[in-house]
Each structure stands twice: as structure tokens, then as C-alpha cells.
Amino acid sequence: MKAKVSLVLNGESVSAEVEPRETLADFIRERQGLTATHLGCEHGVCGACTVEVEGQTTRSCLTLAVRADGMHVKTLEGLAADPAMMVLKRWFHDEHALQCGFCTPGMLITARDILSRHRAPDAGTIRKELSGQLCRCTGYANIVKAIEAAGRELAGA
């Protein structure tokens, strides 16, 4: 038995018939073709599937598509022109805060969320806030440095 899901994805209204057990991650990737939302563990542990739902960071692998019906969802693609995201992307590049790139979309969305709640956070705060994001390549040091630098820039320091 399929259910109709209608939501606003990156500012655009989209609808589809979905199985009740289909995740928001699968809806975004498979039905909408937005591949920045990565599927890693599919248990909500790694953070690669992090998106924004109604302004809150959300694990899209744990969220059923039917639960997002009527909501506003943003993926990394939908944040491309966001001023904070542009600063973060530049600092991730400048600080070599990515390697394979698999975790990067979730890291960037989480970093944007961190900076929206903490003005120019220190390394300890960033590490604590990133505890739900897994990266197997970088060791996090450069990710933390990139977020710190972006936070200072955005805070005008």
C-alpha cells in the first residue's frame, strides 16, 4: 500500500507515491536524484545522510519519507548559495578538511548547524558537536580547524 508524499525539497514542491517504509534518504537520492545525501551505516550513526528538515538537522536514513510529508527539506544542493555554507566550503577546501568526500555533505550541514547555534565556537565545542559525524579519512583535525576558521569569519572576528 503506497502513500503519497508531498514536500518542499530545496525550495521546490515535489510529490511521489512511496512505500510506507521508504526512508527520506532513499526518497531524496533515488526519486529526486540528489546525490549529496549519502547513505553510510543506515542506522543513524555515521551522519552521512544528514539533511535539514524544518530547519533542524535530521538523519534522513532514520526518517521515513511519509513523516516528511508537508515539510520543508534542504540538502547540501539546496544550501549551495547559503552565505554560511559558502564560507564553510571555502574553509573546508583551504584547510584540507576532506579526503574521500563521503562524509563531507553531512559534515558541512552539521557544521552550518553548529555555527548557527555557537558564535565562533572553540575546538572543544566543535569536537563535541561533531561527535555524531563519522569520518574515516581525515582524523577530524582539519575539519575542526575549518569550522573554527569559518566561525571566526562569520562572527566578524
Q: What is the CATH number of the domain that holds 70?
A: 3.10.20.30
Give the contacts of 145 (CB within 8 A, at least 6 positions apart): 95, 97, 123
User: What integer pLDDT is reported at residue 137 of this predicted model?
Assistant: 87
Do 99 and 151 belong to one domain? yes
Do 48 and 114 belong to one domain? no
Do 105 and 142 belong to one domain? yes
- Domain around 151: 81-155
Instruction: Quote the percentage of the chain above a pLDDT of 70.
Output: 99
Give the model confidence (pLDDT) of 18-57 as tens digits: 999 999 999 999 999 999 999 998 898 999 999 999 999 9
Mean pLDDT of the 124-148 span:
94
List the beta strands (DSSP E) in the chain.
3-9, 12-18, 50-53, 56-59, 72-74
Q: Dig out the grid coordinates for 82 from the structure.
A: 547559503
Report the SS3 class of residue 34: coil
Q: Cα(59)–Cα(39) distance, rounded to whole angstroms? A: 10
Do 46 and 99 belong to one domain? no
- Burial of residue 54, with CB atoms counted within 10 A of its CB: 0-12 exposed, 13-18 middle, 19 or more buried: exposed
Q: What is the CATH number of the domain that holds 141?
A: 1.10.150.120
User: What integer pLDDT is reported at residue 8 of this predicted model?
Assistant: 98
Give the model confidence (pLDDT) of 51-80 as tens digits: 999 999 999 999 999 999 999 999 999 999
Mean pLDDT of the 104-129 span:
97
